[in-house]
């Protein structure tokens, strides 16, 4: 039976990149006016408990080696390239040359899978590798100005698709269901560990400190997967030469403070990696720390049925994106949406043309 079209048919809890991608995947299928996004923090906000604005951010081989990660990455890369090609600078996504290096364990099978779709993919000959590096590739990545890209998606979801955003903190996932709600998407990131009705003990934060600098000579994305550190240089699209330098992957660490010793280590490691950074002027603009929403076993994309308001309703979990919410998140969103095809088919939603 079709329900009367209501803005609360679909409720998305969370307005980080994961909630925004789910809203976009649904809106592109014509469900924009059936969606309310509820979140304590919205695009434009900054808070330690809101991970997305702190992301570097790029597409890289830092993601997991499992079949899910490989599939989500591919969908994410295609999506981001499509956004860049159709929207251009206003999306704050940019195709950028990238070099990625490994000092130790090289995920060859995964790199092979990526080589089949990454633009301009090349293996760098071993005689050209810097000291300590055992394998390296170059390709065209997508770099993303994370806070600006979120603001772009936020505006587009509201203005083009009629998605409603509401600032609200909930204590229990059941509170997201109004009497007319048919589906709730749980996109609460790190909060999935403590949110009532979810309380997933597999979730944990992975802290990263980054340094935002102005270094206009840097045009290339560089990453080095070291023995003890992840080191990366990411030029930020749509800025006057801003570059993110990182970083750290500190499992289980929820400390939002920043540390001078870490800033110094980041500057030393990134200068060692890039002659452009060594050659040009470098002005430190900010030092920040963010918590990647990690999860043992990888992200959870799963549907369950909950009895609410005397009805069985669909609850779709989509959290635990770790360090790859921007690159893999659109693939995750498509999969989360597939879990409720049966319910979506019953919604009486005015269709709008599907566009990128
Ligand atoms: C330093 C750093 C570098 C990174 N670099 C990259 C990169 O290069 N590429 C990449 O792909 N990813 C990168 N990431 C990872 C990426 O940022 C995360 O995977 C992503 O931001 C996770 O998004 P999320 O929507 O799950 O969580 P969040 O952004 O934290 O959003 C959670 C949302 O849920 C809401 N919420 C939570 N609890 C409640 C509640 N009880 N009631 C109401 N609302 C609630 C919050 O208010 C918020 O809106 C990086 C992360 C960090 C920290």
* Segment 163-219, tens digit of pLDDT: 999 999 999 999 999 999 999 999 999 999 999 999 999 999 999 999 999 999 999
Q: Is the CB of 58 under 6 A from ligand 1?
A: yes
Distance separating alpha carbons of residues 157 and 333, to the nearest angstrom:
15
Give the per-residue pLDDT at 351. 46
Which residues are registered as beta bridge partners of 119?
Answer: 140
pLDDT on residue 4? 52
Cβ 306 vs Cβ 315: under 8 Å: yes
Q: Is the CB of 326 under 6 A from ligand 1?
A: yes
What is the number of domains present in the chain? 1
Domain CATH number, residue 186: 3.40.50.720
**Closest atom of ligand 1 relative to the 319 alpha carbon:** 26
pLDDT at 280 over 60: yes
Is residue 355 within 8 A of residue 28, CB to CB? The reply is yes
Structure tokens at 137: 């590739």
Does the pLDDT value for residue 3 go beyond 50? no
For residue 291, the CA-to-ligand 1 centroid distance in Å is 8
Decide if pLDDT at 352 tops 60. Answer: no
CA–centroid distance, residue 272 to ligand 1 (Å): 30
In a domain, 260, yes or no: no
Does 165 map to a domain?
yes
pLDDT at 156 over 90: yes
What is the model's pLDDT at position 5? 56
Residue 47 — very low, low, confident or very high, per pLDDT cuts 50/70/90?
A: very high
Residue 292 alpha carbon to ligand 1 centre in Å: 7
* Protein residue whose Cα sits closest to atom 7 of ligand 1: 57
Sequence-distant (≥ 6) Cβ neighbours of residue 322 within 8 angstroms: 63, 64, 206, 292, 293, 294, 295, 298, 299
Q: What is the DSSP letter of 3?
A: B
35 within 8 A of 163, measured Cβ to Cβ: yes
Confidence tier at 350 by pLDDT (50, 70, 90) = very low
Distance CA 43, CA 146 (A): 10
83 in a domain, yes or no?
no
Question: What are the tens digits of pLDDT across the range 103-144?
Answer: 998 999 999 999 999 999 999 999 999 999 999 999 999 999
Structural domain includes residue 182:
yes
pLDDT at 349: 63
d(CA 174, CA 251): 30
Q: Which residues contact residue 14 at a Cβ distance below 8 angstroms, ignoring those fewer than 6 apart? A: 37, 39, 185, 186, 187, 188, 189, 191, 319
Q: Of all protein residues, whose CA lies closest to atom 19 belonging to ligand 1?
A: 325
| pLDDT at residue number 102 | 97
126 falls within a domain: no
Instruction: Indicate whether 1 pLDDT > 60.
Output: no
Among 16, 20, 94, say which to mutate for ligand 1: greatest number of ligand atoms within 8 Å of CB. Answer: 16
Position with higher pLDDT, 25 vs 3: 25
Residue with tokens 């994309």: 301
How far CA 28 is from CA of 108, 250, 258, 293, in Å, comes to: 35, 36, 39, 26
Q: What is the mean pLDDT of the chain?
A: 94
**Tens digit of pLDDT for each residue in 235-268?**
999 999 999 999 999 999 999 999 999 999 999 9
The response to whether residue 181 sits with its C-beta less than 6 Å from ligand 1 reads no
Tokens describing residue 308: 């609410």
- Rg, Å, the chain Cα set: 20
Q: Are strands 300-308 and 35-39 parallel, antiparallel or unpaired?
A: unpaired
Residue 162, in any domain of the structure: yes
Distance 2 CA to ligand 1 centre (A): 34
161 by DSSP, 3-state: which?
coil
Q: Which domain holds residue 7?
A: 1-57+145-201+296-356
Instruction: Tell me, yes or no, whether 115 lies in a domain.
Output: no
- Asked whether 187 lines ligand 1 (CB < 6 A), one says yes
Kindly state whether residue 125 falls inside one of the protein's structural domains: no
Looking at residue 315, its pLDDT comes to 98
The better pLDDT of the pair 340, 349 is held by 340
- Are the beta carbons of 36 and 336 closer than 8 angstroms? no
Nearest ligand 1 atom to alpha carbon 320: 26
Atom 27 of ligand 1, residue of closest alpha carbon: 189
Percent of the chain scoring above 70 in pLDDT = 96
């Amino acid at each position: 039976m079709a329900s009367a079209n209501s803005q609360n048919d679909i409720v998305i809890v969370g307005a980080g990149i994961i909630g925004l991608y789910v809203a976009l995947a649904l809106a592109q299928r014509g469900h924009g006016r059936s969606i309310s996004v509820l979140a304590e923090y919205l695009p434009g906000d900054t808070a330690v408990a809101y991970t997305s604005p702190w992301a570097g951010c790029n597409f890289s081989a830092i993601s997991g080696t499992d079949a899910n990660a490989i599939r989500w990455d591919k969908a994410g890369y295609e999506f981001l390239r499509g956004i860049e090609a159709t929207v251009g600078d206003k999306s704050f996504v940019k195709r950028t040359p990238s070099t990625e290096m490994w000092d130790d364990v090289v995920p060859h099978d995964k790199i092979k899978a990526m080589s089949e779709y990454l633009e301009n993919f090349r293996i760098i000959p071993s005689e050209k590798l810097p000291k300590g590096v055992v394998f390296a590739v170059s390709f065209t990545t997508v770099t993303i100005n994370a806070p600006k890209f979120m603001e772009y998606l936020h505006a587009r979801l509201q203005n083009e698709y009629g998605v409603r955003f509401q600032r609200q903190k909930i204590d229990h996932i059941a509170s997201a269901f109004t009497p007319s709600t048919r589906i709730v998407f749980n996109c609460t990131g790190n909060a999935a560990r403590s949110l009532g009705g979810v309380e997933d003990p597999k979730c944990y934060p992975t802290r990263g400190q980054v340094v935002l600098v102005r270094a206009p000579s840097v045009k290339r994305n560089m990453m080095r997967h070291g023995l003890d550190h992840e080191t990366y240089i990411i030029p930020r699209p749509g800025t006057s030469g801003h570059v993110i330098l990182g970083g750290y992957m500190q499992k289980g660490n929820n400390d939002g403070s920043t540390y001078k010793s870490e800033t110094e280590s980041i500057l030393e490691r990134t200068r060692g990696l890039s002659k452009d950074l060594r050659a040009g002027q470098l002005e430190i603009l900010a030092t920040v720390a963010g918590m990647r929403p990690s999860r043992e076993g990888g992200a959870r994309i799963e549907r369950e049925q909950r009895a609410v308001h005397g009805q069985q309703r669909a609850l779709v979990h989509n959290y635990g994106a770790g360090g790859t919410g921007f690159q893999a998140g659109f693939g995750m969103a498509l999969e989360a949406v597939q879990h409720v095809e049966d319910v979506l088919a019953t919604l009486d939603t005015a269709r709008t043309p599907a566009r990128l």
